[in-house]
Every structure is written in C-alpha cells, then in structure tokens.
Amino acid sequence: MLTPMILLWTFVKEHVRRLREDEGGYTTETVLVTAALVALALVVIALLVKVVTDKANSIHM
C-alpha cells in the first residue's frame, strides 16, 4: 500500500513543480498589450495617410 502512495505523492509533486515553472510562453496579458499596440499603430497610420492625402489634394498647380 505504501508504494502507490509514494507514486501518487511523487506524481503530485512533479505536477506542481511543472505548474510553477516559467514556460517562456506568452501570457494573455502580453497578447492583449501587443494587440492594443498594433491597433494604436493602425490608427496612427490611418491618421497620417489622411493628413498627407488632404495636404496633397490641396496643392493646386
């Protein structure tokens, strides 16, 4: 009876150890911040295109 208990305890300890390790993967927060920065960059690019286009259209030759 002792061997299955030791085996179970070893399994649980190893599982907890793996859960605590940093896998180096992206967290949800990192993905959300990256998505927000991409969205902000797209807005800035759209505004720049509008300003440059309006300025180009206002030039009369």
Kindly report, residue by residue over 30-56, the tens digit of the pLDDT: 888 999 999 999 999 999 999 999 999
Q: Which residues of 16-28 are buried (b: 16+ CB within 10 A; e: fewer)?
A: eeeeeeeeeeeee
pLDDT at 23 over 70: no
> What are the C-alpha distances in Å from 15 to residues 20, 33, 48, 49?
9, 30, 52, 53
User: According to the model, what pLDDT value does residue 18 have?
Assistant: 82
User: Rounded to the nearest 5 degrees, what angle is found at the Cα of 39, between the Cα atoms of 50 and 46?
Assistant: 5
Please give the sequence-ordered ranges of beta strands (E in DSSP) within 1-61, or none if there are none: none
pTM of the complete model:
0.55
For the chain, the structural domain boundaries read 2-57
User: According to the model, what pLDDT value does residue 19 have?
Assistant: 79
